[in-house]
Amino acid sequence: MASAPLAEDTTPLAAKGTTETAEPAADRRGGDGGGRGRRQGGGRSGSRGWRRVLRWTAVVVAVAVLGAAGAGYLYYRHLNGNIKQDDLNLGDSKVAEPTPNAAGQTPLNILLIGSDARDTEANQKLGGARETFGSTPLADVQMLLHLSADRSNMSVVSMPRDTLLQIPKCTDPDDGQVYPASDGRAMTNESLGHGGPGCTVATWQELTGIHIDHFIMVDFAGVVSMADAVGGVPVCVDANIHSRDSQGHGSGLKLEKGTHPVKGEQALQWLRTRYGFEDGSDLARAKAQHMYMSSMVRVLRENATLSSPNKLRRLAEEATRSLTVDPGLDTVKKLYDLSNELRKVEPERITMTTMPNRYVGSRVEPTEDAEQLFRLVRDDIALDGKDAKKKTDGEKLSDDPAAPDAEIAVQVRNGTRTDVLGPASGRATTVTGQLNELGFSSAVADGSTVLSEETTVVRYPSADLEGDAQAVAQSLGIPLSAVKRSTEVSGVTLVVGADWREDTAYEAPERDDKTPDTADILNGADDEACMHVNPAFTW
């Protein structure tokens, strides 16, 4: 979003709080715990005025990004005290931060979570389903917001709540309770009940290999209060719709054909609607959420509905009270700094997608196209296809000079195992021999473990070894874009990937950097999108 108040860049937040009408009790799976948030206070004096702090909050509404600097010591402390905090990652395994680009910039990944918690009177009234009152909350909306390293574009990836995957072992830092890894595959929305939002973050990282920097979580009441404070957001349906069937299932959304502004509880109904949109699946609901998010961004950019100090103050109150965040975002100042980053992206460079998937019974699982989408995000390649230059960003030689080849200690590992093929025998030994012949006499093969690595990669732990790692890559014809900094290794480490299962000469594979069509792409500037109404739910 551009140079106007940060409200413009906020879309994803409103949508993250979305969830659907309660499913039957048998369809709500989860363990004990979850849904806790610790109050976090703090404050700093400021002197830039009310208007800016309140304008700041407009951002949170659209993407959990607030846009203002200080506004007086007491009020600043008050807003900080509204914000709830929880740990970022409750899993054991960590994903290394991405390697900075030539300008020293790194991408920013934020997981937006919508909780279906029915833990307060307001949430119970909005969520219904009395049999679920006080039960373990579910992460029924999960969206990854990826801001590119150069801040030129933004990608949003939604994961359906009933995606089957492995939930990793998570430990609740509050009481030390350990939630073992799921026995087989479980629905991704159950991760929230395994200690809190930090387990949902861990689950995403395990599946995607994407390093997540922050999370922002909101519940039913938060979505309604913020949507009401912001004002109407235009949405479109191609026929009259009433989301309610004969058994009482549905969000209750009732709209006439055409474009209408929705706010407050009606906005929540739109974001939760599954019965009535297209095939009645979570996939259709994700599409509706993307339309709402895009529209929210455009509304906040195009009009001055938040010019009133009273409206802005109300929005600031509602937004900060509705959020649970990680420690990296637990103050107004931190959220403001984040908003300054997000505001740099224009709607035309925002791409919204849904994780490619296929049905497994009534659930879904990721497909091969999903891994393609995750790779594009990991490699910081714009999903709108307008960043071809990014493919050569990684070819910059390090300023750190390489040591003599014979003095560079290299550990070589076999990473050729895939989902369908076993590891290629002896690859670490073969490639080590090739390095020795090239003069890297300190290279050794590590046969202790066999890994699964899609493409060959050279990893190094610290800046003083980057030049050494690049020298190893160049000697074998491996592109410098495959040289990655990682805290998971203690020295220069070459992992022979599934793209190099034979021969001693490496040939870099041609990569398709196009966003899969199965990702259901929506551009943030598309103001003509309209949801298709299932004929069984029209009137």
In a domain, 488, yes or no: yes
380 with 484, same domain: the answer is no
Structure confidence at residue 304 (pLDDT): 45
314 with 435, same domain: the answer is no
368 with 405, same domain: the answer is no
| Confidence band of 342 (pLDDT split at 50, 70, 90) | confident
124 with 200, same domain: the answer is yes
In a domain, 138, yes or no: yes
86 with 132, same domain: the answer is yes
pLDDT at 326 > cutoff 60: yes
In a domain, 522, yes or no: no
355 with 409, same domain: the answer is no
In a domain, 158, yes or no: yes
pLDDT digits (tens, 9 = 90+) for 200-230: 999 999 999 999 999 999 876 666 666 666 6
| Three-class HEC string of 43-106 | CCCCCCCHHHHHHHHHHHHHHCCCCCCCCCHHHHHHHHHHCEECCCCCECCCCCCCCCCCCCCC
pLDDT digits (tens, 9 = 90+) for 379-401: 899 999 987 544 444 456 777 78
Structure confidence at residue 55 (pLDDT): 42
End-of-domain residue from the set 332, 356, 385? 385
In a domain, 257, yes or no: no
Kindly report the average pLDDT of the chain as a whole number.
80
**Structural domain boundaries, residue 460:** 395-496
Structure confidence at residue 257 (pLDDT): 97
Structure confidence at residue 319 (pLDDT): 75
In a domain, 360, yes or no: yes
End-of-domain residue from the set 333, 366, 385? 385
**139 with 161: CB under 8 angstroms?**
yes
In a domain, 263, yes or no: no
Q: Which residues contact 63 (CB under 8 A, 6 or more apart)?
A: 9, 10, 11, 12, 13, 14, 112, 145, 293, 342
In a domain, 417, yes or no: yes
End-of-domain residue from the set 354, 385, 416? 385
Q: Which two tokens stand for residue 455?
A: 């493409």
pLDDT digits (tens, 9 = 90+) for 425-482: 999 999 999 999 999 999 999 988 889 998 999 999 988 999 999 999 999 999 988 8
In this prediction, residues 345-365 reach a mean pLDDT of 94
75 with 133, same domain: the answer is yes
342 with 416, same domain: the answer is no
pLDDT digits (tens, 9 = 90+) for 476-507: 999 988 898 888 899 999 999 999 999 989 98
pLDDT at 190 > cutoff 60: yes
DSSP 201: H
* Lowest mean pLDDT, pick from 1-5, 133-137, 192-196, 488-492: 1-5
* Lowest mean pLDDT, pick from 81-85, 336-340, 411-415, 418-422: 336-340
Domain CATH code at residue 315: 3.30.420.590
313 with 201, same domain: the answer is yes
**478 with 395: CB under 8 angstroms?**
no
343 with 404, same domain: the answer is no
Structure confidence at residue 7 (pLDDT): 31
Domain CATH code at residue 438: 3.30.70.2390
User: Domain total for the chain?
Assistant: 2
427 with 326, same domain: the answer is no
184 with 79, same domain: the answer is yes
Scored b (16 or more CB within 10 A) or e, 313-340 reads bbbbbbbbbbbbbbebbbbbbbbbebbe
Structure confidence at residue 353 (pLDDT): 96
Structure confidence at residue 73 (pLDDT): 65
| Confidence band of 127 (pLDDT split at 50, 70, 90) | very low
pLDDT at 350 > cutoff 90: yes
pLDDT digits (tens, 9 = 90+) for 287-322: 998 998 888 778 766 654 455 667 667 767 877 888
Reported pTM? 0.70
